[in-house]
Amino acid sequence: MCGIVGVHNLNSGAVVPEALLKQMLAMLRHRGPDEFGIYLDAKTGMGSARLSIIDLAGGSQPIGNEDGSVWIVFNGEIFNYLELRVDLEKRGHCFETNSDTEVIVHLYEEYGPDSLTYLNGQFAFAIWDDHQKRLFLARDRMGIRPLYYAVRDGQLIYGSEVKAMLLHPALQARIDPESLRQTFTYWSVLPPKTIFEDIYTLPPAHYMLVEDGEISTEAYWHLDYQDKDAAFASDDEYLQAFEELLVDATMIRLRADVPVGAYLSGGLDSSTTTAIIKNYTDNRLETFSISFANPAYDESAYQRQMADFLGTEHHIVHCEHRDIGRVFPEVIWHTEAPILRTSPAPMFLLSGLVHDSGLKVVMTGEGADEMLGGYNIFREMAVRRFWAKDPDSEMRPLLLRRLYRDIGQMDSANEAFLRGFFKRGLVETDSPFYSHLIRWENTARLRRFLVGQGGDAAQNWERLSLPPEFSGWSALAQAQYLEILTFMSPYLLSSQGDRVAMAHSVEGRYPFLDHRVVEFSNKLPARLKLRGLKEKWILKQLGSKLIPDEIWGRPKRPYRAPVQDSFVGDYRAEYLDEMLGERALKQTGLFEVEPVQRLLRKAGSGRRLSETDEMALVGVLSAQLVQHFFVNNFTARVNTLQESDRIKIVRRTAEEHVYE
């Protein structure tokens, strides 16, 4: 796993300064501390910060083809690189390394942009094709690895993280008010926008071509839930095919020249993939999990049970409230975006434990809920659609208590509240956003804190871009698509995934997001995902063969982390008053001062904040930290590469290329 950067002259222009690329790479040292690489010619400059995982000795980047006309910098892993290499060698391509990176170069030579359809992996890369004077950027299907870009002064600037791009003298960070509104509705900014004005992300499953000064982007893959004829005759046949596919997806993600560990949450998803590793290999396996001091969030008993069952060497990071508050600013430095939950903070601590244990790679269970209908929002949608057929029913809304078992603890959560809350828009089942409207409308209440919003919570989800075939999908498929579009790709895989793992030079690998597993899951009959109110039915059937009943059979418990007590209470975060004080709020101009001050006083008074108020506290605080780090004080953390750093430099002229 690595980080990449680049500056490309769209037309004629000065040679990209080597010193600039070195500074940009230094900002990504956490993504790739092992070595660095730079490619420079009259048209383009690009660089790589490498975390060595495959071909430790020979995989230094940038890597070129046989005649030095095609060069790549690469962030990620190609898991089917061995199979691809065999075919490419048969076609006459010669390899100088054993890396997966070089496979992409030759695959591009053979197929051009269509090469992306052959890749099974998680990646973001840049290829400079000097023959065609073409820059080719691409990102993996699910958006596991990040890639950002901006255009300034006739140059395309790109990188794995925005902080590297901000070293370019023509680029400055400014928070985009519309993007902040999106965050305070969907929990994230929707691609291609980012929280910063005029800085964009290449959407998942897209590539960019830059030729003759023109920039174009195109999708090369789509989520597809269209009903087809049944692939198998019985549920057992579906289960067998699913098991074979998930086992293979897990096994090829063990390909590495370093040890691979596993996150173990104590739930079904990570327990299943970890059990596959133990059952199908003789690998010594280390597992990692989070325990919380607050029992409302702690699942350590299940984690220990699973680790004992599998016989892994288990490591636990214990998370106190103050730990979350302590690391929260550093988490925001890495997320580079406001967030509405503290959940990334324990994941940041967990990746630190992995790093301190000497590992670079972990297997993780993310993606199973989105692919197999695991979240309450899917079951809630099913209950509400059932209720909508008889809106005056006294019994049907009570099914919601099976989803939200602590609903009796909600403020004013009597029967009238329960019915009123979930009955909003109940019969509007024709809306394409039916499954998510309650969540979005509830979150949009946070916009009352934004300057100039006046409490406005007007709908803006009508702007969401939906594929033409969306209306023909099942209700569950529509809900899954919206969850992936607005939550999984821009938040879960970014702020709670790549960014907090790579903060400690740790690569996460996701068997459930193997595109073959995704495509198979999307074609499953709905009954094999959500059967009644039983979520992830097919995965539970597989889990029953591999893991203890107490693990696969227990109700899903969403991963959450404490909020209010992490910032105020017995421990008060030292930066809280500085970030949310009147002076700071007026300086940023993002939030209404008095409502935020009231919220802060309420939080500190000992009264329990509602879930919405907790989201507001985290959202406002994280946005203020983004402003502090990237707008007001960015130069405070700028550095450059050192003489002691390993750096491979390729300088190329029309006649030759020279290595240093």
Q: What is the mean pLDDT of residues 245-253?
A: 98
Q: Where in the chain is the domain with CATH 3.40.50.620?
A: 235-372+501-552
- Please, what is the angle between helix 611-626 and helix 437-444, to 10°? 60
Rounded percentage of the chain residues whose pLDDT exceeds 70: 95
**Residue with more model confidence, 231 or 499:** 499
Provide the β-strand partners of residue 124.
75, 139
Cite the beta strand spans of 351-394 per DSSP E: 361-363
What is the average pLDDT across 277-295? 95
- Greater confidence (265 vs 652) lies with 265
Residue 91 region, left (φ>0) first, then alpha (ψ -120 to 50), else beta?
A: alpha
Instruction: Provide the pLDDT for residue 628.
Output: 98
pTM above 0.85, yes or no: yes
In the chain, the N- to C-terminal Cα span, in Å, equals: 23
Q: Which of 334-348, 448-462, 486-500, 546-560 has the lowest mean pLDDT?
A: 448-462
Residue 463 has pLDDT above 90, yes or no: no
| Mean pLDDT in residue range 520-533 | 94
65, 97 Cβ separation under 8 angstroms: no
Average of per-residue pLDDT across 641-655: 86
Q: Select from 143, 128, 11 the least CA-distant residue to 61.
A: 128
User: Is the CATH number of domain 2-221+647-659 3.60.20.10?
Assistant: yes
Provide, rounded to the nearest whole percent, the portion of the chain with pLDDT above 90: 86
**What is the average pLDDT value for the chain, to the nearest integer?**
93
How do residues 170-204 score in pLDDT, each as one tens digit? Answer: 999 999 999 999 999 999 999 999 999 999 999 99
Q: Of 11-15, 47-51, 56-60, 507-511, which gets the smallest average pLDDT?
A: 11-15
pLDDT of residue 401: 80
Strand order in the sheet with 507-509: 313-319, 286-292, 260-263, 361-363, 507-509
C-alpha distance from residue 568 to each of 325, 332, 361, 572, 603 (Å) = 9, 18, 35, 4, 7
Q: Please give the pLDDT value at position 411.
A: 44
Q: Report the candidate in 344, 322, 369, 350 with the shortest Cα–Cα distance to residue 540.
A: 369
Q: Which residue has the tokens 């695991």?
A: 374
Distance CA 1, CA 497 (A): 14
CB distance 280 to 547 below 8 Å: no
Neighbour-count burial for 550-586, b at 16+ CB within 10 Å, e otherwise: ebbeeebeebebbbbbbbbeebebebbeebbbeebbe
User: What is the average pLDDT across 460-481?
Assistant: 91
CA distance 253 to 365: 12
**Can you list the pairs that 187-191 forms with residues at least 24 positions away whose Cβ atoms lie under 8 Å?**
187/339, 187/340, 187/341, 187/443, 187/486, 187/487, 187/491, 188/337, 188/486, 188/487, 188/490, 188/491, 188/494, 188/495, 189/337, 189/490, 190/464, 190/485, 190/486, 190/490, 191/143, 191/489, 191/490
- pLDDT of amino acid 605: 92
Predicted confidence (pLDDT) per residue in 145-164, tens digit: 999 999 999 999 999 999 99
CATH number of 235-372+501-552: 3.40.50.620
What are the residues facing 316 on neighbouring strands?
A: 289
410: pLDDT strictly greater than 80? no
- Cis peptide before 62, with omega less than 30 degrees from 0? yes
pLDDT digits (tens, 9 = 90+) for 308-347: 999 999 999 999 999 999 999 999 999 999 999 999 999 9
Helices (H) and strands (E) in the chain, counts: 24, 19
Type of residue at 404: Y
> How far, in whole angstroms, is CA 517 from its chain's centroid?
18
- CA 500, CA 518: separation in Å to the nearest integer? 24
Query: What does each C-alpha distance from 324 to 428, 498, 562, 622, 629 come to in angstroms?
Result: 40, 18, 8, 13, 19
What pLDDT, on a 0 to 100 scale, did the predictor assign at position 409?
47
The owner of tokens 């605080």 is 621
Q: Is the pLDDT of residue 457 over 50?
A: no
Secondary-structure percent of the chain, ordered helix, strand, coil, rounded to 5: 45, 15, 40
Calculate ∠ Cα 30-31-32, nearest 5°. Answer: 95
Please check whether residue 365 is in contact with residue 276, taking contact to mean a CB–CB distance below 8 angstroms.
no
Position 404 scores a pLDDT of 77
**pLDDT at residue number 413:** 47
Pairing verdict, β 286-292 and 313-319:
parallel
Q: Best-predicted range by mean pLDDT among 229-243, 261-275, 448-462?
A: 261-275
Average pLDDT on 557-585 reads 94
Q: What is the pLDDT of residue 1?
A: 63
| pLDDT score of 455 more than 60 | no
Mean pLDDT of 570-586: 94
Q: Where in the chain is the domain with CATH 3.60.20.10?
A: 2-221+647-659
Tens digits of residue pLDDT in 600-640? 999 999 899 999 999 999 999 999 999 999 999 999 999 88
What are the residues facing 6 on neighbouring strands?
46, 158
pLDDT (0 to 100) of residue 659: 54
Residue 492, pLDDT score: 97
pLDDT tens for 66-79 read 999 999 999 999 99
SS (H, E, C) 84-108: HHHHHHHCCCCCCCCCHHHHHHHHH
CA 511 – CA 122 distance, rounded (Å): 11
* Confidence band, pLDDT 50/70/90 cuts, at residue 464: confident
Lowest mean pLDDT of 65-74, 382-391, 397-406, 582-591, name the range: 397-406
Please tell me the distance from the alpha carbon of residue 329 to that of residue 640, in angstroms, as a whole number: 22
pLDDT at residue 408 greater than cutoff 50: no
| Contact predicate 287/312, CB 8 Å | yes
Rounded CA-CA distance 296/208 in Å is 45
Angle CA 629–333–321, to nearest 5: 115
pLDDT of residue 79: 98
